[in-house]
């Protein structure tokens, strides 16, 4: 079937078999391997991408259902010049170890902060509940998301120093 979609700002027109998932399309057709194939049934969140502003499991969406939609993957988050504030906070808080879950976790965090720029710790936990991590125990991820939120609200810089009004 024929599909048109926008991935990280670039438009694509492709033809894929109907049983192709959005995850398969991103990884195999477009070479965006940031979204990972983990459980393949929507439990682990490693395949999380943002579709029309909402985080979803790309393994649970058919490519055909993404027709006409706008997709953001981890490849579209940083610019050539600098990391996204969430990525930078993850780096500074040493929030990832093996990193397999990272693209999904960071996109879940991005979707959360886009909607709620000042989340409570509990809201961050809830926003990341769909992403499994077997290395870190989550604490440093949650710290990083809260820190990134403060940076994005211009309340602090990445060192944690207060931004002078």
> Per CB under 8 A, does 57 bind another protein?
yes
Q: Where are the alpha helices (DSSP H) in the chain?
A: 22-24, 85-92, 102-115, 121-127, 139-152
Work out whether 95 is an interface residue with another protein (CB under 8 A). no
Q: Is 56 in the site for another protein (CB under 8 A)?
A: yes
Is there binding between residue 123 and another protein (CB under 8 A)? Answer: no
Q: Report d(CA 30, CA 23) in Å as an integer.
A: 10
Q: Which stretch binds another protein (CB under 8 A): 6-14, 28-36, 61-69, 138-146?
A: 61-69
Subset of 128-147 contacting another protein (CB under 8 A) = 129-132
Figure out which of the listed residues 26, 111, 124, 151 binds another protein, where binding follows CB under 8 A: 111
Q: Indicate whether 38 belongs to the interface with another protein (CB under 8 A).
A: no
Q: How many CB atoms lie within 10 A of CB 107?
A: 26
Of the candidate spans 52-60, 89-97, 134-142, 155-163, the one that interacts with another protein by CB under 8 A turns out to be 52-60
Q: Determine the Cα–Cα distance for residues 28 and 16; give it in Å rounded to an integer.
A: 11
Instruction: Give me the least distance between CB of 112 and another protein, in Å please.
Output: 8
For residue 63, which phi and psi values (nearest 5 degrees)? -55, -35
Q: Match 């027709």 to its residue by tokens.
A: 67
Give a three-class secondary structure readout of 121-163: HHHHHHHCCCCCCCCCCCHHHHHHHHHHHHHHCCCECCCCCEC
- Verify binding: residue 103, another protein, rule CB under 8 A: no
* Smallest separation (angstroms) from another protein to the CB of 48: 6
Q: Which residues bind another protein (CB under 8 A)?
A: 1, 17-19, 21, 40-43, 45, 48, 54-57, 59-62, 64-65, 108, 111-112, 126-127, 129-132
């Amino acid at each position: 079937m024929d599909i048109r979609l926008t991935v990280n700002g670039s438009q694509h027109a492709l033809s894929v078999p109907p049983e192709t998932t959005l995850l398969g399309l991103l990884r195999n057709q477009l070479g965006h391997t940031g979204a990972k194939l983990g459980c393949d049934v929507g439990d682990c969140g490693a395949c999380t991408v943002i579709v029309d502003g909402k985080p979803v499991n790309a393994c649970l969406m058919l490519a055909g259902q993404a027709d006409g939609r706008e997709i953001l993957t981890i490849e579209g988050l940083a610019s050539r010049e600098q990391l996204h504030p969430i990525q930078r906070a993850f780096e500074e808080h040493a929030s990832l170890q093996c990193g397999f879950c990272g693209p999904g976790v960071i996109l879940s965090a991005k979707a959360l902060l886009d909607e709620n720029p000042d989340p409570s710790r509990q809201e961050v936990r809830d926003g990341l509940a769909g992403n499994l991590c077997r290395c870190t125990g989550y604490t440093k991820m949650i710290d990083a998301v809260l820190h990134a939120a403060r940076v994005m609200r211009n309340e602090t810089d990445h060192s944690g120093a207060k931004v002078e009004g």
